[in-house]
Amino acid sequence: MSVLVDKNTRLLVQGLGTAGRFHTDRAIAYGTNVVAGVHPGKGGTHLRFEGETDHSGVPGRPDQYEVDVPMFETVRDAVEATGANASVIYVPPFGAADAILEANDAGLDLIVCITEGIPVQDMVVVKRAMQGSPSRLVGPNCPGVITPHECKIGIMPGYIHQGGRIGVVSRSGTLTYEAVKQLTDVGLGQTTAVGIGGDPVNGTNFVDVLKVFAEDDATEGVIMIGEIGGTAEEDAAAWMAEHLKKPVAGFIAGTTAPPGKRMGHAGAIVSGGKGTAEAKISALTSAGVVMAQTPSDMGAAMLEAMKRAGLS
């Protein structure tokens, strides 16, 4: 079992520039079922991906792959022709918000936006437009979503993942990889790893992902990686204390970060003094989360949380 993506996911890629093509190739090498591409001016053509299979991905495939991905002018055309049910967006920042809106309009179940640097006000509009939408947005400015050995959507290196027992949710891309690798190294593995992205306004938040992990039978424990700023971690702590019965480990980055570097002081007022690493660590600890002291201790913290729950 897994959440959000699995071997039945039919992926559409929006934006096949240099980065989009590179990571689409990596995804196909991993075994992800990429069924369509959308790129302006490329409709009606095919894009060929070929190379050596990444055997850390979907098992039982030949050593070489050769895939021709059909290209479309619009997301709606691509969905009608191929039955795609998820999209990943590599469109540059100025067009990325529109790409999300187009994917939302086409009714995809899952929209994963990798793009970094989207203007905040664009995301304010996107979030408003997606209110009540059945589509789920993950990101932007995130590494993506992966279910080991089934489906890789995004820019994470595939080989560090190992199918297993832990759900991973993180605001930071590279720290997600740290957590994943340590879970693999300690033998716990992952059910699904979700990077929700570090932007101030995003789609799926910690609580949304915790809810799906809570309902997933295969996910025995959860690791959550946050960072300073905002109150998403505090909200997650409050929700977990009430609703989540599974063991949770956590880490918060930014204990030593200099305060107030990013935003003027009026921003801090909104969150009423929340948002510091100390506040987040204390909220999570109170909710029963086993906190890793350094980012190198995340795997150990998860083992400890599992042990306390009698699941080791």
Partner 1 sequence: MKIHEYQAKRLMAARGIAVPEGRVATTADEAVAAVRPLIEAAGTPVIVVKSQIHAGGRGKGRFKEHPDLAGVTVVTSGLKGGPEATEADVRSLAERMLGSTLETIQTGPEGKIVNRLYVEQGIAIARELYLSVVLDRESGRNLMMASTEGGTEIEEVAAETPEKILRETIDPAVGLADYQARRMGLGLGLTGDALKNGIRFMKALASFASEMDTDLIEINPLVVTEAGEVMALDGKMGFDDNSLYRHADVAELRDETEEDPAELEAKAFGLSFIKLDGSIGCLVNGAGLAMATMDTIKQVGGEPANFLDVGGGATTENVTAAFKIITRDPNVRGIFVNIFGGIMKCDTIANGVVEAVKQVGLEVPLVVRLEGTNVELGKRIIDESGLNVMSATDMKDGAQKIVEATR
Q: Is 39 a catalytic residue?
A: no
Catalytic option among 23, 55, 243, 265 = 265
∠ Cα 88 91 94 (to 5°): 140
123 contact partners, CB below 8 Å, separation of at least 6: 97, 140, 199, 200, 201, 202
Binding-site string for partner 1 from residue 37 to residue 76, where x marks contact by CB under 8 A and - marks none: ----------------------------------------
> Helix and strand tally (H, E) in the chain?
10, 14
Q: Which of 117, 133, 187, 308 binds partner 1 (CB under 8 A)?
A: 117
* Buried b / exposed e along 55-83 (16+ C-beta atoms within 10 A): bbbbeeeeeebebebbbbeebebbbeebe
Question: Of 64 and 121, which CB lies nearer to partner 1 in the complex structure?
Answer: 121
Please report whether residue 173 would count as binding partner 1 according to CB under 8 A. Answer: yes
**Nearest residue to 142 (alpha-carbon basis) of 113, 110, 167, 178:** 113
Considering the complex, what minimum distance in angstroms separates the CB of residue 90 from partner 1?
A: 9
Q: Write down how long the chain is.
A: 312
Please report whether residue 204 would count as binding partner 1 according to CB under 8 A. Answer: no
Please report whether residue 218 would count as binding partner 1 according to CB under 8 A. Answer: no
Question: Which listed range, 2-10, 64-72, 75-83, 166-174, lies at the site for partner 1 (CB under 8 A)?
Answer: 166-174
DSSP codes of every residue in 60-123: S--SEEEEEEEEESSHHHHHHHH---EEEE---HHHHHHHHHHHHHTT-SEEEE------HHHH
Considering the complex, what minimum distance in angstroms separates the CB of residue 102 from partner 1?
A: 18
Q: Which residues pair with 60 in a beta bridge?
A: none
Structure tokens at 281: 């660590």
Q: Which of 43, 157, 163, 288 binds partner 1 (CB under 8 A)?
A: 157
Please report whether residue 198 would count as binding partner 1 according to CB under 8 A. Answer: yes
Considering the complex, what minimum distance in angstroms separates the CB of residue 91 from partner 1?
A: 14
Question: Which listed range, 54-62, 63-71, 248-256, 281-289, lies at the site for partner 1 (CB under 8 A)?
Answer: 248-256
265 contact partners, CB below 8 Å, separation of at least 6: none
Site residues (vs partner 1, CB under 8 A): 19, 23, 26, 93-94, 114, 116-121, 123-125, 127-128, 143, 154-157, 160, 170-175, 177-178, 181, 198, 200-201, 225, 227-232, 235, 251, 253-258, 261, 263-272, 293-297
Which positions are annotated as active-site residues?
A: 265
